[in-house]
Every structure is written in structure tokens, then in C-alpha cells.
Structure 1
Amino acid sequence: MTEEIEIESFKLDHTKVDAPYVREAGELTTPSGDIIKKYDLRLMQPNQGVIPTAAMHTIEHLLAGFMREKIDAIIDLSPMGCRTGFYLSKIGETEIEEVEDALISSLEEILETEDVPATTAKECGNYRDHSLFGAQEYAQEILTGFKSS
């Protein structure tokens, strides 16, 4: 790589954050003037906690629907490779508190859900790698973290 590309998440000092939290992680204005916002939905403390892949995958499937029920114009909800959270990309401005409230409400819904959507070979690229039990265990842990902060 001849030029250094600036990656916002690589500039974040992961030793100084206190998860769980929601923060704005980027903003882009398209040529047509639309604003695209990226939010860091950090669920686990970096380098101290990690969500196992099956639980993370199930949380992803559940948040994909629950968050869209609460916030308009979501483009994508992407898991972080480090498995400590997700990036939420959306069109338009949304206050951090609204995103956090939607996340907390969605995590509460995960505790009550009995079914995970899109878990067949036709609908999911790794349909065998899900754990509703794990998703609920981690949702409870994350909610406890939000309540204590």
C-alpha cells in the first residue's frame, strides 16, 4: 500500500473505552447530499470480552429486524471481526440516545424471543452456526452493563 488509508476504528484507543456504549463512528455526505452515519454499537469490552460466533451470529439476525423496527433508514448492521459489537450504518441523522435506546430495547426483545429468523440453508450462509441460548446469555450480560453505567 503506497498511501496510508485512514480507518476510523484503527484510530480508536480500544484501551480507553468503556463498553457497552453507542458512539458515532463516522459520517459521509453522498454526492446527492444524503448523510450516511455509522455508529459503533460496542457490546463487550475490547480485549477483555468477546461474543462467541454462534451467539454473535444469532444476535446479528435478531438485531437486523429489531433495530429496523425502531430506527428508519438503516442500511446495514455489521458484526465487528473482533466480535465485541456491531457497526450500524444508516441514512440521515439520529441522536446517539435514540440509537442506544433502540439497542437496549432490542436486546430486551432478544431475551423474550423464541425463534431466530433466516436460519435455513436457503436464507443464511452459515445456518448451522447459531445459538439462541448464547445470544440471550450475552444480551443479559450486555444489558447489565448498560444499567450499571
Structure 2
Amino acid sequence: MEKMNVESFNLDHTKVSAPYVRIADRKELPAGDVLIKYDVRFTQPNTDHLEMKAIHSIEHLTAELMRNHTDKLIDFGPMGCQTGFYALTLGLEPQDFLPILEASFKDILQATEVPAANEVQCGWGANHSLKDAQEAVSQFLDHRSEWETVMA
């Protein structure tokens, strides 16, 4: 298969075993800072997916709550395939990122509302479900011991 420009297009999605967390990209910037992009995969590609209300709420919750644990999160956004998220960080190596991710997801389980889930602060404020987000995150946390195993 021809090598493509997008890293995830070169990943054999039939051989991965979700849930997992892996480094999807690493770039050194001209000033020496390092960007590390994580593939935070919740569901098995082409087998299962997250519903949009859960995805949208996990995005809001994690983007807000993870920043309580680090100032090195640049972005936390959903994958178009609805199987997980990308976390873009400023130099957070796995030994630092994984505990922050776990703590942030535990915070989600304690949340009583989805931050900025309204039409003033969000482009589709009605498209949220705290319950669905907490259920998906709970299942992901239940598999914490498997996060570092990417291939089946």
C-alpha cells in the first residue's frame, strides 16, 4: 500500500485492538518545542463507534477538565470516524500523559454538567449527553490496563 501523508491512513485499522492510547505523531518545532499527538481510541474501528452526543460531551468535558491537570494540552478533539479522539500536547510523554488522561476521565465521572453546553458557548449546544459521556468514559477507564496495547 502506498504511504500516505496522514499518519492514521497508514495505520492498519484491522489490526488494532481498542481501547488504547498511542502516539500518532511527534513534531519538533523550529524553536525546539515538541508536539506530541495522541490517538485515544475508545472503540474498535469499523466494528463500533461512539454516538455524537457522547463524543461532543467528552470533547467539552476533557478539553475543560484536563487543563486542571496540565497546561500542556493544546487541543482535544474527536475523530471523524467516531471511534476516539486526538489529544495534541506540548511535549507530554506517555508516562506523563496517561496519568493526566486518567485523572481527567475520573473527573468526568464526577461531573454534574457538560461545560459550555449552551447556544452561547457552543455551536450545537443541545447536542450533549453527560450520561452517555460518563458511560463511555467509564468503559474506557475499565480497560486502563490495556491502554498501552495497540495491536491485537
TM-score, reference length from structure 1: 0.88
Please provide the CA RMSD for this pair: 1.7
- In the superposition, relative to structure 1, how do residues 132 and 14 fare at CA in structure 2: closer, same or farther (>3 Å)? same
Task: Give the C-alpha shift of residue 102 in structure 1.
Answer: 1.8
Give the aligned partner of residue 84 of structure 1. Answer: 83
Task: Give the C-alpha shift of residue 71 in structure 1.
Answer: 2.6
The 8 Å contact of residues 4 and 10 in structure 2, kept in 1 or not, is answered as no
The 8 Å contact of residues 118 and 124 in structure 1, kept in 2 or not, is answered as yes
The 8 Å contact of residues 36 and 90 in structure 1, kept in 2 or not, is answered as yes
Whole-angstrom distance in 2 between the partners of 1:127 and 1:28:
34
Give the aligned partner of residue 150 of structure 2. Answer: none
Ranges in structure 1 where 5+ consecutive residues have no aligned partner: none
1:67 aligns with 2:63: no
Q: 1:83-108 CA deviation, whole Å, 9 max, x = no partner?
A: 1111111222x221322222222222
Q: 1:62-97 CA deviation, whole Å, 9 max, x = no partner?
A: 0002222223321111110011111111222x2213
The 8 Å contact of residues 21 and 100 in structure 1, kept in 2 or not, is answered as no
Whole-angstrom distance in 2 between the partners of 1:74 and 1:61:
13
Structure with the greater relative contact order (CA < 8 A, sep ≥ 6): 1 or 2? 2
Give runs of ≥4 in structure 1 deviating > 2 Å.
Answer: 145-149
Whole-angstrom distance in 1 between the partners of 2:37 and 2:20:
14
Ranges in structure 2 where 5+ consecutive residues have no aligned partner: 148-152
What SS class does the counterpart of residue 132 from structure 2 fall into? helix
Whole-angstrom distance in 2 between the partners of 1:143 and 1:134:
14
1:20 aligns with 2:19: yes
Whole-angstrom distance in 2 between the partners of 1:24 and 1:64:
18
Give the aligned partner of residue 38 of structure 1. Answer: 37
Give the aligned partner of residue 101 of structure 2. Answer: 103
Task: Give the C-alpha shift of residue 135 in structure 1.
Answer: 0.7
The 8 Å contact of residues 43 and 49 in structure 2, kept in 1 or not, is answered as yes
Number of aligned residue pairs: give it: 145
What SS class does the counterpart of residue 143 from structure 2 fall into? helix
Q: Identity of paired residues, percent?
A: 43
1:11 aligns with 2:49: no
Give the aligned partner of residue 127 of structure 1. Answer: 125
Whole-angstrom distance in 2 between the partners of 1:36 and 1:148:
24
1:51 aligns with 2:13: no
TM-score, reference length from structure 2: 0.87
Give the aligned partner of residue 143 of structure 1. Answer: 141
Q: 1:4-43 CA deviation, whole Å, 9 max, x = no partner?
A: 8511000011111122211111111222222111111111
The 8 Å contact of residues 20 and 146 in structure 2, kept in 1 or not, is answered as no
